[in-house]
Amino acid sequence: MATETHCPYCSLQCGMRLAGRRVPEVQAWEEFPVNRGALCRKGWAAAGLYGSRERLTSPLVRDRESGEWSAVSWDDALDRVAAGIRAAQAAKGPDGVAVFGGGGLTNEKAYSLGKLARAALGTSQIDYNGRWCMSSAASAGIRAFGLDRGLPFPLADVEEADVLVLVGSNLAETMPPAARHLDRLRERGGRVVVIDPRRTPTADRADLVLQPVPGTDLALALGVLHLLVAAAAVDEDYLAARTTGWESVRDSVAGWWPERGERVTGIEAHELRALAAMLAGSPKVMVLTARGAEQHSTGSDTVLAWINVALALGMVGKRGAGYGCLTGQGNGQGGREHGQKADQLPGYRRIDDPAARAHVAGVWGVDPDTLPGPGRSAYELLDALGTDDGPSALLVMGSNIVVSAPNATHVTSRLEALDLLVVCDVVMSETAAIADVVLPVTQWAEETGTMTNLEGRVVLRQKAITPPSGVRSDLDVIAGLAARLSDVPFATDPEEVFAELGRASAGGPADYSSITYDRIRDEGGVFWGGERLFAETFAHVDGRARMYAVEHRGAAEVPCADYPVHLTTGRVLAQYQSGAQTRRTRALPDDGPFVELHPLLAGRLGVAAGDPVRVATRRGSMAAPARVVTTIRPDTVFVPFHWVGANRLTNDALDPASRMPEFKVCAASVASLLEEVAQRPSRDPVTHA
């Protein structure tokens, strides 16, 4: 009999059935409302990693001198990790050990990991890779609405919009089953606007495509709002009744006339006017942002600027309209709610709030005064590893830092400076390969747990497959370490952990206390906070949304003589995040990295399609074959980030509010490697040098 469960990958958390416990087969689950049986190729191929010969099935320890790996028992491995943590904390105090989680971990794991750090280890040094994914939208949502839930409405509401503005989202390629909502919207006569420096497959479904200079989405929003004010298209009654701060926002956009917007964004004034006219005349406007707009050192303000547009039009809280963020990682939403973030306790509570500390400490059975305060954000934490003031031991769960961190060469050197690096993973990822101890864990449908999808819908990823012998769940690892290092009890049964999470989150902004596994099964998922938010009131004490006057600042790095083009990064359909799973799935094509550039730029460089090129930034370089396409701006190159290399290039400049690194734009140079390759004695394939 098939088991109803969910895809291991993105935030859509498509429902699927899995049949066969030994050789799993993915089948459609038509009744699940989010995807109605549709899956992208990653979902259909999800079972491919199961049974892989690369699967780790025994704890491994590495001898630093010889580099040799040895298999050890679980007790031995956990004892070594506990001893290393004790040594780090004896030398440096509680913050001598750090914990790094992931936005793909189940809610139960994210919660337990946060509890492990705060209650068992007493360290403030915990953060996770979701900081690099959704934190700018989260920060902006909290500031504007008092609450961060990526989509405050079901995804299907998209179909009801008259105009949908996608800012920095390649939805058709990153979550293809969601693209049907765009088709239905257009069948109804609605229109789609796509704003992206690359003309992606999503643009094929658009009525208006704008390709701004990377890093200028904020200026574009200011220019649009300027035109809406000039056209008297703002909803003054809504603004007066439901917001604060409008006057200063209105004044701040006064100088953003279209010609100035054109100079900054590269979008012609008549196109800006066309967009504004489209918005001004539409009863239902929906703005959705994604990583293209958010992964910037100005990402948080960029989101606020687009929220201002949605609020000025009186759209937020109206059905089929408003603002939302298209979360990326599988549990990007739940992963940022239950305590693996540096400043946070379960239920989206702040760790510096005395009442929150008392409540959570009560659930954990510890003295609130023993809980640490806020720690470092993800990049700042990694940057501090192995330094005099930083942790000397690190536990990594659900993250492949060596591939996914910005300025990755530097970050890798920080990992290598640790006294102890422990990685829990299913395969020997690039990060596991430099660890001291690798703990082989269960994955995906080998275990049960909840995920919270991009709509705030809590779903149950049920166990459907028997895990290989020798592996343990992350919950077992956490409990095993906690038992060695503290007397704080940790449950290992996911349903028990979820019930505890519910108690810990009760009364918080993200309150899961009324959600149970049975309710999720019966109701096809449960929205925390309700299906639709903000219809009557926002989550600030006075019930009003806050509008902030934000300024265009531009990218932290702009092209110059040495680095004359913009570099941007992103995803391809067949791969997911750092590729640790999808690159090992045979049914998914792994064509390796490439450098996408416009024919005008290629012509200037003397590069033809398939030629090897080197992309360099101030932080590093990589080589890959060229793809010459007319769909990218001539001043911009694109590299996918699923392979080692792209993030050696990216900029670690951080957003001041969200601490999000500027993954999406930096200054780069591009050069042909044709001559260099031709002069090699044997024509080596292009490598990620």
Residues binding ligand SF4 (CB under 6 A): 7, 9-10, 12-14, 35, 39-40, 42-43, 175-177
CB 83 within 8 A of CB 437: no
Tokens of 365: 């059975």
State in angstroms the smallest separation of the CB of 640 from ligand SF4.
15
State in angstroms the smallest separation of the CB of 72 from ligand SF4.
35
Round to whole Å and give the CA distance between 165 and 327: 16
Round to whole Å and give the CA distance between 574 and 643: 13
State in angstroms the smallest separation of the CB of 22 from ligand SF4.
23
Measured from the CB atom, the residue of 140 and 172 that comes closer to ligand SF4 is 172
Over 348-402, what HEC string results? CEECCCHHHHHHHHHHHCCCHHHCCCCCCCHHHHHHHCCCCCCCCEEEEECCCHH
State in angstroms the smallest separation of the CB of 175 from ligand SF4.
4
Nearest residue (beta carbon) to ligand SF4: 43
State in angstroms the smallest separation of the CB of 15 from ligand SF4.
9
Measured from the CB atom, the residue of 42 and 318 that comes closer to ligand SF4 is 42
Could you tell me where the beta strands, DSSP code E, fall in 447-510?
449-452, 457-461
CB 595 within 8 A of CB 670: yes
> Which is nearest to 449 in space by CA: 512, 524, 517, 523?
517
Measured from the CB atom, the residue of 252 and 450 that comes closer to ligand SF4 is 450
**Coil vs helix vs strand at 181:** helix
State in angstroms the smallest separation of the CB of 250 from ligand SF4.
39
Measured from the CB atom, the residue of 175 and 423 that comes closer to ligand SF4 is 175
Measured from the CB atom, the residue of 177 and 299 that comes closer to ligand SF4 is 177
Measured from the CB atom, the residue of 216 and 399 that comes closer to ligand SF4 is 399
Round to whole Å and give the CA distance between 89 and 242: 50
Round to whole Å and give the CA distance between 155 and 455: 6
Could you tell me where the beta strands, DSSP code E, fall in 492-602?
526-527, 545-546, 565-570, 595-597
Tokens of 347: 């239920």
Measured from the CB atom, the residue of 47 and 116 that comes closer to ligand SF4 is 47
Degrees (nearest 5) of the Cα angle 480, 69, 93?
Answer: 45
State in angstroms the smallest separation of the CB of 38 from ligand SF4.
8
Could you tell me where the beta strands, DSSP code E, fall in 254-321?
285-289
Tokens of 499: 């019930």
Packing angle, helices 217-230 and 258-265, rounded to 10: 170
| Backbone phi, psi, residue 69, to 5° | -100, 140
Measured from the CB atom, the residue of 40 and 396 that comes closer to ligand SF4 is 40
For residue 281, the tally of other CB atoms under 10 A from its CB is 12
Q: CA–CA distance from 156 to each of 33, 281, 537 (Å)?
A: 9, 23, 22
Counted residue by residue, the chain has a size of 689
**Coil vs helix vs strand at 80:** helix
Measured from the CB atom, the residue of 40 and 88 that comes closer to ligand SF4 is 40
State in angstroms the smallest separation of the CB of 172 from ligand SF4.
11
State in angstroms the smallest separation of the CB of 177 from ligand SF4.
5
Measured from the CB atom, the residue of 10 and 351 that comes closer to ligand SF4 is 10
Measured from the CB atom, the residue of 385 and 454 that comes closer to ligand SF4 is 454
Packing angle, helices 474-485 and 107-115, rounded to 10: 10
